[in-house]
């Protein structure tokens, strides 16, 4: 295989950019920014995410069996950047980012455009990231708007 072609072709997949939340440890929550998110079924509504093994979030999702996906708005690159590295939570804030919880207890960012949350129904551990399949059990819309694209941030995660 041509390694450069593989990288270029895989980077041709278009993505959004999302803040994915979950529960960790004893009553705590965590969140990270990721782009490997896609719907895979209408009925039941299923969503797949790719989650790096060995991260706080991976361990939390596998243990708690729940996660949330926060859809960011175009222009919210700064918000996305806050969750590329480990975050600390104080009360209902990750630094200055406010969140609340709904059905599963996973964090929902007040400033996200919209959100949905899932119960995990399958974990496939084959790669360096796990393919985690979730059934959507709740969702909400904070406002109308255009979702954030990975491309507009100038970043890539894939290849």
Ligand X SMILES: Cc1cc2nc3c(=O)[nH]c(=O)nc-3n(C[C@H](O)[C@H](O)[C@H](O)COP(=O)(O)O)c2cc1C
Q: How far apart are CA 25 and CA 130, in angstroms?
A: 20
Secondary element (H or E) of residue 1: none
Q: How far apart are CA 19 and CA 29, in angstroms?
A: 13
What are the φ and ψ backbone dihedral angles of 25, each rounded to 5 degrees? 50, -145
The footprint of ligand X on this chain (CB under 6 A) covers a number of residues equal to 18
> Binding mask 111-130 vs ligand X (x if CB under 6 A, - otherwise)?
------------------x-
3-state SS, residue 63: helix
Single out the residue of 32, 26, 23, 31 nearest to residue 64, CA to CA. 23
> Binding mask 75-114 vs ligand X (x if CB under 6 A, - otherwise)?
---------xxx----------------------------
52 binds ligand X (CB under 6 A): yes
In terms of CB distance, is 43 or 52 closer to ligand X?
Answer: 52
Q: Which stretch binds ligand X (CB under 6 A): 44-52, 69-77, 96-104, 105-113?
A: 44-52
- Measured at CB, which residue is nearest to ligand X? 34
Query: In the sheet that 89-90 helps form, which strands lie side by side, from edge to edge?
Result: 89-90, 93-94, 97-100, 108-109
User: According to CB under 6 A, which residues from 10 to 39 bind ligand X?
Assistant: 30, 32-36
Residues that bind ligand X (CB under 6 A): 30, 32-36, 50-52, 55-57, 84-86, 129, 155, 157
């Amino acid at each position: 295989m041509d390694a450069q072609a593989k990288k270029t072709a895989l980077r041709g997949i278009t993505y959004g950019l999302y803040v994915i939340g979950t529960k960790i440890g004893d009553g705590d929550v965590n969140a990270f920014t990721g782009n490997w998110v896609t719907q895979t079924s209408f009925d039941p509504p299923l969503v797949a995410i790719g989650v790096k093994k060995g991260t706080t979030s991976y361990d939390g999702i596998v243990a708690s069996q729940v996660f949330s996906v926060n859809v960011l708005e175009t222009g919210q690159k700064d918000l996305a950047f806050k969750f590329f590295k480990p975050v600390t939570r104080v009360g209902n804030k990750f630094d200055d980012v406010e969140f609340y919880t709904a059905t599963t207890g996973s964090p929902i960012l007040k400033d996200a455009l919209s959100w949905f949350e899932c119960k995990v129904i399958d974990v496939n551990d084959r790669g360096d990231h796990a393919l985690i399949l979730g059934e959507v059990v709740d969702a909400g819309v904070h406002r109308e708007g255009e979702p954030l694209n990975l491309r507009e941030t100038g970043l890539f995660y894939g290849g």
